[in-house]
Structure 1
Amino acid sequence: MDTSESTTGERDPEAGTSRRRGWRRWAMDTRPLRRPAYRRLWVSTIVTAVGSQLTAVAVPKQIYDITGSSAWVGAASMAGLVPLIVFALWGGAIADTMDRRKLLLITNSGIAVTSLLFWLQAFAGLESVAALMVLLALQQAFWGLNAPARNASIARLVPEDELPAASALGSTVMQTGQVAGPLLAGALIPVVGLPELYLIDALALCVTVWAVYRLPSLPPLAGTAIRRAGLKEIAAGFRYISGHTVLLLSFLADIVAMVLGMPRALFPQLAAQTYAPYGEGLALGLLFAAIPIGAVLGGLFSGTFSRARRHGWMVIGAVVVWGVAITGFGLSGSLWVAVAFLVVAGVADMVSMVFRGAILLSAATDEMRGRMQGVFTVVVAGGPRLADVLHGTAGSAFGPRTAVAGGGLLVVLVMLALAAAVPALRRYRV
């Protein structure tokens, strides 16, 4: 007899609850979504994650259509990186001086207006690379101001024990956007045209602005506010990091993993040479998609780790697994084995993101959270670009597979050395 049902034929609610709890032990931890304020912020993140990828596809596509040159596409990427770095650092300081909800309203509105300007120039057939690069720089400046305030706000919306779950929810949405956004853009361009991608992004951002408007006020806590946001306050943020070893190590862990172990610059060469028998286009698409897919899977099953309390060990373990997976990828002659290793790396990257994010929010005081998130934004944006240079150079000198495997091995060795030499990260727990 099914013990979940009584003799009267009615289902036993306790048995059903037990099964649901069993599912929740390994499925995505959705506790933060029970909190209306966080749920609104998360909804705005969904819209931003997908919509921003439409523009991220449309800008390089339009530049290439105008110039026929990949060099101009690369130049545009760098044009967006500099303002992102500058304004993320400044935006972190601003987020510690004013109501973060107000800052999010201003910056999300700015991003929406920029998307509308992208649409206007495309609709008018302007065909000006200079105009596109200026608009891209403006958009990335707004994004740099926005990201620290958005991430720093989370600790005010959920309790400390739910920070890993909230980080997993946000990271999963962003990674899903990186997969779904480009696919949606590719499907829409032949149907509605490239200019309309910008317009869709602009209209979607109206939902983001509305969701942020519904957030509670998030002013600096009493007695903690700084009066201005200048170079002195930015420098104070870096001094704060240097004086808090666990925060410094959380940044170093990401730098080690991304700079030494992110091999995306070698994907085209590997697809054309090592995995050419499988079809160069198929191989290239799978290589670029594998890590985001792994990260999404890690987020969907984040209930298996989001309740862990030893956050430091989780970061160390995740970075080591990332390094091992990248090493395995470099040694793989089979495309499918290589993709499997990259998926594992994506899962490890998600775990690392979740607990590094939780450490930044829990180990830093509220008056410093904006600046910590500003530095975090710079590290996340800059690390993979430094990796592109490093791996591109190493791949030319030693061959792509050797460069990839060597980088992965270095990640493992350097991370273990850091963990052994400095115990603060090992000891950190909620």
Structure 2
Amino acid sequence: MFVDLSPFRHKNFRRLFLGQLISAFGTQMTAVVIPFQIFLITKSTLYTGLISGVEFIFIFFSSLLGGVLADRFEKRKILIWAEVGLSIIPLGLALNSLSAQPHLGIIFVLAAMASFLGGIHRPALEALTPRLVSENEIAKISVLLPIRHILTMILSPMIGGFAMVSVGAFYTYLFDAVSFFISLLFLLGVNYKKINTNKEIIKTQTILEEIQEGYRYIRSRKEIFSSYASDFIVMVLCNPVALYPALAAAFQQEKSVGLLYAFPSVGALLMTLTSRWTLSCQRYGVFIICAGAFWSLSLAIVGLSPGFNLILFGLFTAGFFDMVSGVFRTTLWNETIPETIRGRIAGFEMLGYMSGPLLGNALLGFLADFLGVQAALFWGALCSLILLALFNFCIPALWKYKKSHHIEQKLSLRKSS
């Protein structure tokens, strides 16, 4: 029933996990403080949504570039240089926050730079991580890796939200910078067997051609394409994060804004800690689609809720089902994508995973200015439920997918070789 911790016996996986856990604490605290600081400056959900739109533009280009770099070059070096840059940006945010009137433009520019470097960082991280464990442990790390994200999402928002109200943004940004320096120390201790890059491909293919090759691979794997699209649909139409400051203010719960960020992760943590059952499942696609539907229904509850406690419950259940989807999507990708193209596919995965919430924040931030916070969320959730069903009815590959399909394909390839 409970999560399998056996991958931690690998020293390199342990080091990478712990380093990324520490840096994620700082990153998530900053992710809370930036929109909160913008809302305090502008008093508008339009601007808290706009920052997500700006971040999306930079992630769009950098995640595709980062995927190519991860397939071309040594992944650990990419992570090191990206984290050096990511450790400097919070220092700029901290200095800006010391001003009596923090400059809104500086916040937008530095947030955009962080998004760009994050797009370089993540594909290399996603491509490197499965290399640090044995093949039969890939499904197990698909459950373990979200724990890192969940722990930071539970604690960081509460600490970050409280720190923003109590001591201001400066110390929160400073902690983010320190967390990346610590992560770098762990990263320097990671060693693994490197696979030689195909020099002929690098000489003959441009970056654009390599991106196109990754795109063609995704199009040839309809179940992977549909897993991206299903997650993208629900995140664009009913991602509530940009509305949290306004939602807390509407219920006069400003000091509890951190709870809104944290409760989805509490639900995700419960799912992860009881996730051993996922290792025996075959119908990955069914779980991905149904989890997306229940995410939408949970956020419809938030949109209709008359009280703050029911909102927290809706966010809790949304987080639970989001993690169900995340575990099966990650397992599907890690078990079936070849090593030679994994960096580029991780870039496309990041593009979908990150751009959906960012565009959703921008969309709901815009709609909330006209419809109201809860009405925008309810109608977005209803539309996402309908569109999710229509998409998977028209392209049923994900719904029909079974783990046994991949096993049969691998056996046939081995026989032919």
TM-score (norm 1): 0.79
Distance in structure 2 (CA, Å) of the matches to 1:199 and 1:108: 15
Change (3 A) 1:333 1:183: closer
**Greater relative contact order: 1 or 2 (C-alpha under 8 angstroms, separation 6 or more)?**
2
What letter matches 1:29 in structure 2? D
Q: Does the 8 A contact of 1:27 with 1:301 survive in 2?
A: yes
Equivalent of 2:143 in 168, 173, 191:
168
The one of 321, 324, 333 equivalent to 1:351 is: 324
2:234 match: 257
Structure-2 change in CA distance of 1:337 and 1:137 (3 Å): closer
- 1-structure distance, mates of 2:278, 2:193: 29
The answer to whether the Cα contact below 8 Å between 1:97 and 1:225 also exists between their aligned partners in 2 is no
Offset from partner CA, 1:219-275 (integer Å, 9 cap, x none): 4456598416622212222222111111101101101221233344555666666xx
Flag the 1:101–1:307 CA change in 2: closer, same or farther, 3 A. Answer: farther
Instruction: Find the counterpart in structure 2 of residue 19 from structure 1.
Output: none
Q: 2:219 corresponds to which letter in structure 1?
A: S
User: Displacement, 1:400?
Assistant: 5.9
1:405 Cα deviation from its structure 2 partner: 4.3
**Matched residues in 2 for 1:164 and 1:33: separation?**
14
**Do the aligned residues in 2 keep the contact of 1:295 with 1:347 (CA within 8 Å)?**
yes
- Over the aligned positions, Cα root-mean-square deviation in angstroms equals 3.4
Q: CA deviation at 1:96?
A: 0.8
Contact preservation (8 Å) 2:151, 2:269: yes
The residue aligned with 1:114 is: 89
State the match for 1:88 in structure 2: 63
Further displaced range: 143-152 or 311-320: 311-320
Structure 1 CA distance for aligned equivalents of residues 52 and 244 of structure 2: 18
Higher alpha-carbon deviation: 363-372 or 180-189: 180-189
Equivalent of 1:138, from 113, 118, 143? 113
**Count of residues in correspondence between the two structures:** 400
Q: Which residue of 1 aligns with 2:312?
A: 339
Does 2:6 match 1:31? Answer: yes
Instruction: Give the AA of the match of 2:83.
Output: N
SS of the residue corresponding to residue 29 of structure 1 reads coil
Cα displacement (A) at 1:390 = 4.2
Match of 1:428 in 2: 402
Letter in structure 1 aligned against 2:403: R
Distance 1:213 1:50 in 2: 19
Residue 232 of structure 2 aligns with an amino acid whose one-letter code is: I
**What CA distance in whole angstroms lies between the structure 2 residues aligned with 1:327 and 1:122?**
36
Deviations 1:44-86, CA, capped at 9 Å, x for gaps: 2211210112333454566677x55656665554443322221
Q: Which residue of 1 aligns with 2:407?
A: none
Q: Using the alignment, how far apart are the partners of 2:385 and 2:8 within structure 1?
A: 35
CA separation in 1, counterparts of 2:118 and 2:62? 8
Instruction: Tell me: CA distance 1:89–1:223, structure 2 relative to 1, closer, same or farther (3 Å).
Output: closer
Q: How many Å apart are 1:367 and its aligned residue?
A: 1.8
Shift of 1:88: 1.2
Tell me if the contact between 2:299 and 2:377 (Cα under 8 Å) persists in the aligned partners: yes
Tell me: CA distance 1:37–1:310, structure 2 relative to 1, closer, same or farther (3 Å).
farther
Normalized per residue, which structure has more helix? 2
Q: Report the secondary structure of 1:173's partner residue.
A: helix
Pairing 1:128-207 to 2, within 5 Å after superposition: 128-188=103-163, 194-207=169-182
Is there any run of 5+ residues in structure 2 with no aligned partner, and where?
A: 405-417
Provide the rounded CA distance (Å) in 2 between the counterparts of 1:106 and 1:396: 40
- Alignment partners' CA distance in 2, 1:235 and 1:98: 18
Q: CA deviation at 1:288?
A: 4.2
The answer to which of 203-212 and 332-341 deviates more is 332-341
Shift of 1:113: 3.0
Q: Secondary structure in 1 aligned to 2:403?
A: coil
Q: Once the 2 structures are TM-superposed, how far is the Cα of residue 285 of structure 1 from its aligned partner?
A: 5.5
- Contact kept, 8 Å, 2:29 with 2:176, in 1: the verdict is yes
- Whole-angstrom CA distance in 1 between matches of 2:114 and 2:87: 9
Pick closer, same or farther for the CA change 1:300–1:191 going to 2, 3 Å.
Answer: same
Alpha-carbon distance in 1 for matches of 2:335, 2:3: 21
Q: Is 1:100–1:149's contact at 8 Å kept on the other side of the alignment?
A: yes
Deviation at 1:373, TM superposition (A): 1.4
The one of 207, 224, 233 equivalent to 2:210 is: 233
Secondary structure, counterpart of 1:355 in structure 2 = helix
Superposition deviation, residue 292 in structure 1: 2.6
| Partner residue of 1:245 out of 205, 222, 242 | 222
1:21-63 Cα offsets, whole Å, 9 max, x none, are xxxxx22222222222211111122112101123334545666
Structure 1 residues without counterparts, runs of 5 or longer: 1-25
**1:123–1:238 distance in 2 versus 1, CA, 3 Å:** same
Counterpart check, 1:372 vs 2:345 = yes
Question: Aligned-pair distance for 1:89?
Answer: 1.3
CA contact (8 A) 1:49 1:177 kept: yes
Question: Percent identity at matched positions?
Answer: 28
Point out the more displaced range, 245-254 or 155-164: 155-164
The answer to which of 409-418 and 230-239 deviates more is: 409-418
**Which whole-Å CA distance do the structure 2 matches of 1:240 and 1:124 have between them?**
49
| Alpha-carbon contact 1:116-1:202 (below 8 Å) kept | yes
Alignment partner, residue 100 of structure 1 = 75
- Tell me, what secondary structure is at the counterpart of 1:305? helix
In structure 2, relative to structure 1, the CA distance for the partners of 1:213 and 1:229 (3 Å cut) is: farther
Query: Could you say which residue in structure 2 is the equivalent of 1:22?
Result: none
Q: How does 1:36-47 map to 2 (within 5 A)?
A: 36-47=11-22
> Displacement of 1:101 after TM fit?
1.2
Specify whether residues 286 and 73 from structure 1 end up closer, same or farther in structure 2 by C-alpha distance, changes over 3 A only. Answer: closer
User: Do structure 1's residue 361 and structure 2's residue 361 form an aligned pair?
Assistant: no
Q: TM-score by structure 2 length?
A: 0.82
Conservation of the 8 A alpha-carbon contact between 1:260 and 1:407: yes
